[in-house]
Chain A
Amino acid sequence: MAVIFSLFPDGRDVAWVSFFPISPHEGEIFGRTEWCARHQWLQIMTTLILKRILGLFVTLLAVSCLIFFIMGLLPGDPAAIMLGTSASPDTLAALQKQMGLDQPLPLRYVHWLIGVLHGDLGQSYTYGVPVAGLIVERLAVTLPLAFLAVCLSVAIAIPLGVAAARNRNGALDFAAGLFSHVGIAVPGFWVGLLLIILFSTTLGWMPAGGFPGWTPSLSAGLMALLLPAIALAVSQAGVLTRVCRSAVLEVMNEDFVRTARAKGLSERVALWRHAVPNAMIPVVTMIGLQFTFLIAGAVLVENVFNLPGLGRLAYQALTQRDIVVMQSVVLFFSALVITMNFLVDIAYLFIDPRLRTGAR
């Protein structure tokens, strides 16, 4: 099979076939070519990883510097916030000294940076505990939540987007369009409120918010994350459906799909084996973007469901002017975005062999 389709000059179908080998003979036929490709691939990968790591460090340094000084410029003194409206000036001075706020901002930055290089993110002004622990605690909520939301979003959007493309201008296409418009237009926190009203207060099936943790039982933790994940997934799925639909539509007009049909493949097979895999690049890009967005941007939904997630930690740190926490959370987000982009790039390599072999 693969031999026939490798006639295509851009070699697209080869990518698909070697990614999901259909015939055991392919490997033999392309044996030599694959070795070359693999060798090249390794080289490309190494350069890519090295570039990314360098980029990561430069970006993190720039971001941390920027955040520190922006937070420093913001009006508001964490010591004054903690001491409230009755504290005398000498008490304030004592606390500032205790918190190290009496030192100039650049010096504080350098101290913090040295700490980070030694693996110590510092102590939260507000909670008085190490920041690293705070972030890890919050990730136990945020990561599963984002993952669940992306899974739901993908599970809704890809079948819907493909179906819409296939039934272009049909009733299903219209319905999918409506869904994605509504999904994009309606804010997630509002969907969350509606879900709470229906499933928690009216039906009593689900907890109305909060997070019991993973230790009492896995199912209780999942239950607590289900409604917020749905609330987050609705708008993400809305965007993803549109992206998926237009990508599939574009690919479906390509020659190779017509050829696939012409050689006698059913529409369904041509669609799922040839069109959809080739339409995945923009979809995967979007999924990567959405995942990073969900890690950082779920704060409103976290608020409605009262989940102790990373977004809420960042928000709280901002209101309390807890620079150390803010700083570390932003650093974490930046590292995550860069890593995510990197993973998406690698996913491209798997999906599109032209990127692997360096072919144009």
Chain B
Amino acid sequence: MMPRTYFSQAAKLSRRTALTLALGTALWLPFSAVEAEAAPKTALTLGMAIEPTGLDPTIAAPVAIGQVTWQNIFEGLVTIDSKGQVKPQLAESWQISPDGKTYTFKLRKGVTFHDGEAFDSSVAKFSLDRARGESSVNPQKRFFASIDTIETPDAETLVLKLKQPAGSLIYWLGWPASVMVAPKSAENNRTTPIGTGPFKFVSWAKGDKVELEKNPSYWDKNVAVKLEKATFRFVADAQAQAAALKAGDIDAFPEFGAPELMSSFEGDARLGTFIGNTELKVVAGMNNARKPFDDKRVRQALMMAVDRPTVIEGAWSGLGTAIGSHYTPNDRGYIDTTGVHPYDVEKAKALLAEAGYPNGFSFTIKAPQMAYAQRTSQVLQAMLAEIGVTMTIETTEFPAKWVADVFKGGNYDMTIVAHAEPMDIDIYARNPYYFNYKNPTFNEVIANVEKTADAGEQEKLYGEAQKILAEDVPALFLFVMPKLGVWDKKVKGLWEDEPIPSNVLTDVHWED
């Protein structure tokens, strides 16, 4: 009797112990996984605020698409480097005829797509034809409008014959919207992108993350890609972004969402903050066709009522660079035009009175819900009140309602938005465009940029364009958003500046 009881008790005891052990192991599993990763790291988890809508940059505009795929999965005939310079990529070299109407590209040999399909001139022609054809849904189809015919004399030569010179064409060919895609896989690139880049697509858990892995047969043997695995995780909420960084769930957040949280990383032994510049120009566009904004003096008066440093302080915690036109300091040929209409309340009032509004006027700003737009609007509201102008803020859902009402409908007085596209000063020459700004002199300057391929000449013209905009004030030019990077100090090789929206991982590695 006695031994049996003893035995059964022992069995009970050991079962309980086993249960405790199992539970303990289950609870500790996540931690041990984290510890195991501390070995030499070849994996990187990178955070982004916005999830891309599809992974094909040639069929949709959102910059998040390029920020995952450009230079990682997809490559172009040419590329744009971290300084904003155009560099050869799938085209080794090119010649432009003296009249600027024939571009001859010498293509690289031995390049294959991730599925093994070879890259040659016929693939390049296919990519460009797909982007410029009748059924093209390329968001930058206008880039290719100057191309008349495409010839492929041999597998390594691609000849573009243009209708008229296009001075920006080479630069544009470096954009995400101009990347090379293969005839067999192009149709499915939206969900399973296949390119020629140093990383291959692995998986996309919608709403969560995209995973990439190193492409072992990458054509460029001069490049030693150190990352074996890269994960893009999408975290919309700024608090959640900060928490994920601090908890080590995310190694790098190149475009951190909230400037007011940047100081919370100070003194962190592991994380560093890296403030660079972007192409995100925050401008308060005015409906130049509508009274009273059709009067240049009114627009100038509003501009002079704005103290840009205070706007930057209020809206973006003082991180940002003031601009006087639609051009950023990292664009070639930049000139500082913030002094053209400096902050001067008295002059602004006088100018308003001269335009026939001695007692000011009232209008509505349609401001998107994003923090920068709301905060900037509130600061502007206070500043404009100083010169007797009453501004009502109407929050307008971005992108859906904003695109419908403001961008396409042109039904607004003033709005505010950050223009993300690099070198897009030409939008003021487009017709229709939501500013309804029409200045033949400006249009001519922009047209002349395309007529020359000479960089020096182009920069001079861009200078002129900036001066005209600073003088005419079709929009209140406010500031360039900074690139607020937060990442593990041991992560090297990420771009600090962003001459084009991207997350190029080619040179990224962990320091020992």
Contact = CB atoms under 8 A, between A and B. Distances in A.
Contacts of A82: 53, 59-62, 139
Contacts of A84: 60-62, 139
B207 A312 contact: yes
Contacts of A95: 137
Most buried by B among A85, A197, A220: A85
Contact of B408 (A80, A217, A304, A321): A80
Contacts of A208: 240, 243-244, 246-247, 249
A306 B244 contact: yes
Given A126-B54, A196-B243, A208-B249, A308 B403 contact: no
A312 B141 CA distance: 32
A303 B240 contact: yes
Interface in B437-468: none
B344 interface: no
Nearest to A207: B249
A94 B132 CA distance: 12
B221 interface: no
B190 interface: yes
B206 A137 contact: yes
A85 B239 CA distance: 29
Q: How large is the interface on B (under 10, 10 to 19, 20 to 34, 35 or more residues)?
A: 35 or more
Contacts, number: 166
Contact of A220 (B29, B137, B235, B240): B29
B247 A128 contact: no
Interface in A226-253: none
B334 interface: no
Interface in A324-346: none
A248 to B, nearest CB: 33
Interface stretch (B85-93, B372-380, B393-401): B393-401
Most buried by A among B53, B135, B142, B205: B53
B400 A321 contact: yes
B137 A83 contact: yes
Given A95-B137, A200-B243, A211-B208, A127 B400 contact: no
B61 A306 contact: no
Interface residues of A, number: 56
Interface in A70-91: 74-77, 80-88, 90-91
A84 B176 CA distance: 14
A313 interface: yes
Given A128-B54, A308-B207, A210 B244 contact: yes
Interface in B418-434: 419, 421, 424, 427
B237 interface: yes
A144 interface: no
B138 interface: yes
B403 A80 contact: yes
B141 A88 contact: yes
A134 interface: yes
A50 to B, nearest CB: 38
A29 to B, nearest CB: 38
A184 interface: no
A205 B31 CA distance: 8
Contacts of A80: 403-404, 407-408
A219 interface: yes
Nearest to B145: A88
B211 to A, nearest CB: 11
Interface string B24-45: 0011011101000000000000
B400 A320 contact: yes
Nearest to A303: B237
Interface in B125-155: 134-142
A200 B62 CA distance: 32
B405 interface: yes
A218 to B, nearest CB: 8
Contacts of A98: 135, 137
A271 to B, nearest CB: 31
Contact of B26 (A201, A211, A219): A219
A218 B29 CA distance: 10
Contact of A87 (B54, B141, B236, B244): B141
A108 interface: no
Contacts of A320: 53, 400
Interface in A178-202: 193, 196-197, 200-201
B362 to A, nearest CB: 24
Contact of A76 (B51, B234, B247, B403): B403
B401 A75 contact: yes
B191 interface: yes
Given A84-B61, A306-B233, 4 more contacts: A82-B53, A84-B60, A207-B247, A320-B53
Interface of A: 74-77, 80-88, 90-91, 94-95, 98, 126-129, 134, 137-138, 193, 196-197, 200-201, 204-211, 213, 217-220, 223, 303-306, 308-309, 312-313, 316, 319-321
Ranked nearest first, the 4 interchain pairs of A and B with the lowest CB-CB distance are A84-B61, A76-B400, A308-B207, A208-B247
